[in-house]
């Protein structure tokens, strides 16, 4: 595989794990010291453990499979650093049957460490309407 394909696969695995609510797999390809900027407070998470701890505070309880699909992803990869950006269409069904969905922007910075691509920075933002 080449770097572009490896990164595309990594991002698709992340999206699938997020869509399926596989909390134990979502951060498998993130650096332990990742910095994550997200749409909800506190908006900055330092490290995978801090982000994992916050998951239940902001992740809505849903039933069935969620929507979490990458769109228009562009990847630029060098030998050991890369970045990718695009959109995520996300949503789901709440326990009361109501549905929700949003579009967010996503940027990822990656480093190849010990031969493996890892996300070292992730930035998710939502446009204001």
Domain ranges of the chain: 3-125
- Between CA 79 and CA 50 the distance in angstroms is 29
Q: Write down the CATH number for the domain with range 3-125.
A: 3.10.450.50
| pTM confidence score | 0.90
Q: Name the residue with higher pLDDT: 63 or 99.
A: 99
Element of type H or E holding 72: strand 63-77
**Nearest residue to 2 (alpha-carbon basis) of 120, 101, 117:** 117
Q: How many Cβ atoms sit within 10 Å of the Cβ of residue 11?
A: 21
Tens digit of each residue's pLDDT (9 = 90 or more) over 32-48: 999 999 987 888 999 99
- Between CA 52 and CA 50 the distance in angstroms is 6
3-state secondary structure at position 127:
coil
State residue 1's pLDDT score: 61
Average pLDDT, the chain: 91
């Amino acid at each position: 595989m080449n770097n572009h394909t490896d990164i595309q696969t990594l991002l698709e695995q992340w999206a699938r794990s997020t869509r399926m609510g596989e909390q134990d797999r979502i951060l498998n390809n993130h650096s332990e010291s990742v910095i994550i900027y997200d749409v909800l407070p506190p908006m900055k998470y330092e490290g995978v453990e801090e982000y994992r701890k916050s998951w239940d505070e902001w992740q809505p309880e849903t039933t069935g499979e969620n929507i979490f699909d990458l769109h228009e992803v562009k990847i630029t990869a060098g030998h050991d650093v890369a970045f990718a950006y695009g959109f995520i269409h996300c949503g789901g069904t709440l326990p009361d049957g109501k549905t929700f969905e949003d579009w967010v922007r996503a940027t990822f910075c990656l480093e190849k460490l010990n031969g493996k691509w890892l996300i070292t920075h992730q930035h998710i933002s939502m446009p204001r309407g």
